[in-house]
Structure 1
Amino acid sequence: MVFSSTSLLSNTRRIDGERLRTLLSASLQKLTIEVVAKTGSTNADLIAHLRAAHKPPLPIVRVAYQQTAGRGRHGRPWFAAAGDALLFSFAYKIARPPAELAGLSLAVGTAIVAGLRALMRTDTHRLALKWPNDVLLDGAKLAGSLIETVRCTNTSSTVVIGIGLNLDGEAALAAQLDARANPPAALARVLPAVAMTDVLAQVLNALVTMLELFEKHGLAPFLQAWDVDHAYTGKKVLILENGHEILRGVATGIDSYGRLLIDTGNGIQALASGDVSLRAYIL
């Protein structure tokens, strides 16, 4: 384990390496754990390491208490004060080539929700998904993910799954964002005293369980769960591209490739993620 500690954070906002090991599932007992106080991007760090190493030890998780160049989908910045968010990347080798990873980002969303629900005794219904890769709490954005691939072959891919999950500091975060279009949420709403170590352990356990199943069957085992938890299933939605409406209709689910299915009234259109935004609308 590689740890860079910081005395400025409370015990609940620091990763306890020994406790983390006790909480991890059997599939993660050989996990390489790296924790740093500050970095540009944990995804970029792991990708650089994986490219440079001859035989990198996998799986690897790299956690940063603060990121200066954290990215979401399409390079959008991720804002978080030190200790207010769980920011980590998880590198894992999956026996599928890149062409067979369709829908993985949606399966990651179901795993994040499963991990968080393992910590929550009540109010689990307050968690939801938003296509393609957001996790919502009370309808506001709680977490997001970014998946990149490296060291790919015809039979396997090493995926680097970057996750940002707000733990606290919701008011400060809202002040940095356009909260009307992208309202933020923090886990403190429902778990005010939860330890970052516990959140990391449960999300990692859920991720590896998901990846083992995805490796064998792809997105298929997650389709029903995703539809049940999608905040917009059966609702009228607008699809925006660069701020301009390109489609509207009723979100009816996803297909086996993870494309969002929209009933426009003139048929079903399957929408790949691309650079689009999903919004609910009321007539």
Structure 2
Amino acid sequence: MTLTEGSLSGALGSRPFRFFPEAESTNDLAREWLIEGAPSGAVVFCNYQSAGRGRFGRVWNAPPDTALLMSVILRPHLSPNQLGRITMLGAVAVAEILAGLPSLPMELIGLKWPNDVQLAGRKVAGILSEGVWHDDQLMGVVLGIGINVRIDFSGSVLQDSATSIERVSGVRIDRSDLAAHLLKRIDHWTSRITDRSLLTAWRGRLTTIGQTVTVQMVEDGHALSGTVVDVDDLGALLVKDPEGSVHRIVAGDVTLQG
């Protein structure tokens, strides 16, 4: 089922959005629209993204007609150290709409710190939030979301690490309806962006807590191994090393051991 401007218009009603059959990056287009003055809650969609990106500049590729690719413009009142809550709300919202599909058992859905949504232990969606600044003033945030809807990774190098909704559920998904449901959950959590309930919902779905991990640190590139004991109120990962010291990880690449 092809995603079109007409199908989105019918599903989203009066919500402002822009649709592109193909784009390099919905985040870049949303950033431009935000600077032009787009309202909070406006969305950019595309059916195929040729230069999508994830954390640390990684490429996010999906063939045409296979993924829900969108970037939401938000104008939250947050301090810089609270911006991680945007990623939280995106991940929680995606997990909640997956949990609302009757064909997907709740126990299959989890979050890998900080921004991956997983089905049956494999990545089904990624979140990338990017602040837009004018000098030292936050103009807004672009919340980029990519969800694998109907990709079969069998036989590819990603077959053990990635999956799609239809692959796991066996049910055909309408991407316009999926977007409408997702945006309702994003609206819900945006209105509660500073509430503790968001942290509780995010933490409750994290599968990383209690796991033995190796974290590749962003700051200096060194690796830290240990056990994830918790996350703090700002979403940082708390990892206890073999000597018993607890390290606060704000950004890093987490790999499960064993």
**TM-score, normalising length: structure 1:** 0.80
What are the superposed Cα offsets for residues 45-99 of structure 1, whole Å, 9 maximum, x if unpaired?
A: 1112222x2x333321111000111111111110100010000100021122434
Structure-1 separation of matches of 2:71 and 2:257 = 34
Q: Which residue identity is paired with 2:83?
A: L
Aligned match of 1:44: 28
| Secondary structure of 1:45 counterpart | helix
Retained in 2: the 8 A contact 1:98–1:152? no
Aligned match of 2:18: 34
| Secondary structure of 2:97 counterpart | helix
Q: How far off its partner does 1:123 sit?
A: 0.5
Structure-2 separation of matches of 1:233 and 1:186 = 24
Aligned match of 1:101: 83
The answer to whether structure 1 residue 127 and structure 2 residue 101 are counterparts is: no
Instruction: Mark the CA change 1:268 to 1:97 in structure 2 (over 3 Å): closer, same or farther.
Output: closer
Written as runs of structure 1 = structure 2, the 5 A alignment for 1:130-141 is 130-141=112-123
Retained in 2: the 8 A contact 1:119–1:202? no
What are the superposed Cα offsets for residues 94-126 of structure 1, whole Å, 9 maximum, x if unpaired?
A: 122434324431232112111222233551221
The answer to whether structure 1 residue 270 and structure 2 residue 248 are counterparts is: yes
What are the superposed Cα offsets for residues 122-154 of structure 1, whole Å, 9 maximum, x if unpaired?
A: 512211000010000110010001111225698
In the alignment, which of 186, 204, 225 is matched to residue 228 of structure 1? 204
In the alignment, which of 161, 173, 180 is matched to residue 201 of structure 1? 180
Structure-2 separation of matches of 1:229 and 1:58 = 27
Retained in 1: the 8 A contact 2:68–2:149? yes
Aligned match of 1:252: 229
Aligned match of 1:6: none
Retained in 1: the 8 A contact 2:217–2:224? no
Q: Which residue identity is paired with 2:207?
A: A
**TM-score, normalising length: structure 2:** 0.88
Structure-2 separation of matches of 1:95 and 1:153 = 17
Mean Cα deviation higher: 60-69 or 148-157:
148-157
CA RMSD of aligned residues (A): 2.4
Q: Which residue identity is paired with 2:21?
A: A
Aligned identity (percent) is 24
Any stretches of 5+ residues in structure 1 without a counterpart?
1-9, 23-28
Q: How far off its partner does 1:245 sit?
A: 6.4
Aligned match of 2:256: 280
| Secondary structure of 1:94 counterpart | coil
Structure-2 separation of matches of 1:152 and 1:210 = 25
Any stretches of 5+ residues in structure 2 without a counterpart?
none
Retained in 1: the 8 A contact 2:153–2:159? no
| Secondary structure of 2:53 counterpart | coil
Structure-1 separation of matches of 2:125 and 2:81 = 26
Retained in 2: the 8 A contact 1:14–1:196? no
Q: How far off its partner does 1:169 sit?
A: 1.9
